[in-house]
Amino acid sequence: MNALAQDEGSQNLATYNFAYLDEQTKRMIRRAILKGIAVPGYQVPFASREMPMPYGWGTGGVQVTAAIIGPDDVLKVIDQGADDTTNAVSIRAFFAKTAGVATTTATPDATIIQTRHRIPETPLTQGQVLVYQVPIPEPLRFLEPRETETRKMHALEEYGLMHVKLYEDIARNGHIATTYAYPVKVEGRYVMDPSPTPKFDNPKMHQSEALQLFGAGREKRIYAIPPHTEVVSLDFEDHPFEIQHFDQPCAMCGAVEVYLDEVVLDDKGGRMFVCSDTHHCESRQADGHRGALLGESPGAGDDAGAEKEAIR
């Protein structure tokens, strides 16, 4: 790996190590990842480095990816499900440049998928690694501001407070109104923040075949869910956990039971719902699935497609 990195490095990137981070730092991050895998859901502190991007843009996820990526890996990066947004494109280009790895937008082809706030619709398989970018890793943070106290609460399994938040949701809205960053309990022990993914994706974390790693760069925490781990969303007996449901299929590919984004089309109240997972949507369209806005008329499809491109 190093030999390869140096070969390439001598040509165009003389100052970078393979995948940007130095080997000592990668070792340190790998140790944190191993500890995280050994204690599912536990937030492992690590010495987060400055990365060539601002905090909040995925510095944690990038460091985790840099620590686990090898020359044979194929990388996919998504931002809220999309492969073609600024953040996703930049991070993919970053690793293409600093590690020389192959990149892809196809979920099944990727060995490492770095994600901001979505889990792909295509089920992940054994051997794949999903790397989450996490802004605030502590699920209890907004209820208990003291870090010393939240760590003690995790240590002693005092999670009553998490239900106070859900209680308050029901008292105010009549139902659990938390729609993203919905707290989960991992392997019956640690309560964990699944990063701000929509709660639609929570069931996908349960007994996943892929390894899930979470990196929070600013907060300097790494945590993990190993494959085939129990992940349960918290709820009340009389208000069970539910995912979002959409009353119409994707306007582009006609998919149902997927997470949809609302896209405003004009200033007259026109709007459409499309898959947030762009690869899923595009591969369905390639397979001949047609949504309402693609319809029979090719012109209608082109318009909607252009609209979508402009908005993304």
Residue numbers annotated as active site? 41, 250, 253, 275, 281
Counting residues that bind other proteins (by CB under 8 A) gives 19
Min. distance of Cβ 183 from other proteins in angstroms? 13
Window of 41-49, 87-95, 96-104, 153-161 that interacts with other proteins by CB under 8 A: 153-161
Name the residue nearer to other proteins (CB basis): 106 or 170.
170
Indicate the burial class of 178 (C-beta count within 10 angstroms; 0-12, 13-18, 19 or more).
middle
Min. distance of Cβ 166 from other proteins in angstroms? 8
Q: Distances in Å between the alpha carbon of 212 and those of 28, 61, 105, 150?
A: 18, 11, 19, 23
Name the residue nearer to other proteins (CB basis): 49 or 165.
165
Cβ-Cβ contacts under 8 Å for 91 (sequence gap 6 or more): 58, 61, 62, 65, 77, 114
From candidates 156, 269, 309, 310, binder to other proteins by CB under 8 A: 156
Min. distance of Cβ 178 from other proteins in angstroms? 14
Pick out residues in 158-187 that bind other proteins (CB under 8 A).
158, 160-161, 163-165, 167-168, 170-172
By three-state DSSP, how is residue 90 classified?
helix
Measured distance CA(120)–CA(115) in Å, rounded: 9
| Nearest C-alpha neighbor of 45 from the set 218, 169, 197, 205 | 218
By three-state DSSP, how is residue 191 classified?
strand
Pick out residues in 231-290 that bind other proteins (CB under 8 A).
235-239
Name the residue nearer to other proteins (CB basis): 160 or 288.
160
E-only strand ranges, the chain: 44-45, 74-79, 102-103, 112-116, 129-133, 184-186, 190-192, 211-216, 221-225, 231-233, 260-264, 271-275
Min. distance of Cβ 295 from other proteins in angstroms? 45
Min. distance of Cβ 40 from other proteins in angstroms? 20
Pick out residues in 123-152 that bind other proteins (CB under 8 A).
152
Name the residue nearer to other proteins (CB basis): 152 or 228.
152
Name the residue nearer to other proteins (CB basis): 16 or 159.
159
Measured distance CA(91)–CA(210) in Å, rounded: 21
Name the residue nearer to other proteins (CB basis): 109 or 168.
168
Min. distance of Cβ 188 from other proteins in angstroms? 13
Window of 95-103, 211-219, 229-237, 263-271 that interacts with other proteins by CB under 8 A: 229-237
| Nearest C-alpha neighbor of 115 from the set 259, 304, 287 | 259
Please say whether the dihedral angle defined by the alpha carbons of residues 280, 19, 312 and 79, taken in this order, is positive or negative: positive
Binding site residues, other proteins, CB under 8 A: 152, 156-158, 160-161, 163-165, 167-168, 170-172, 235-239
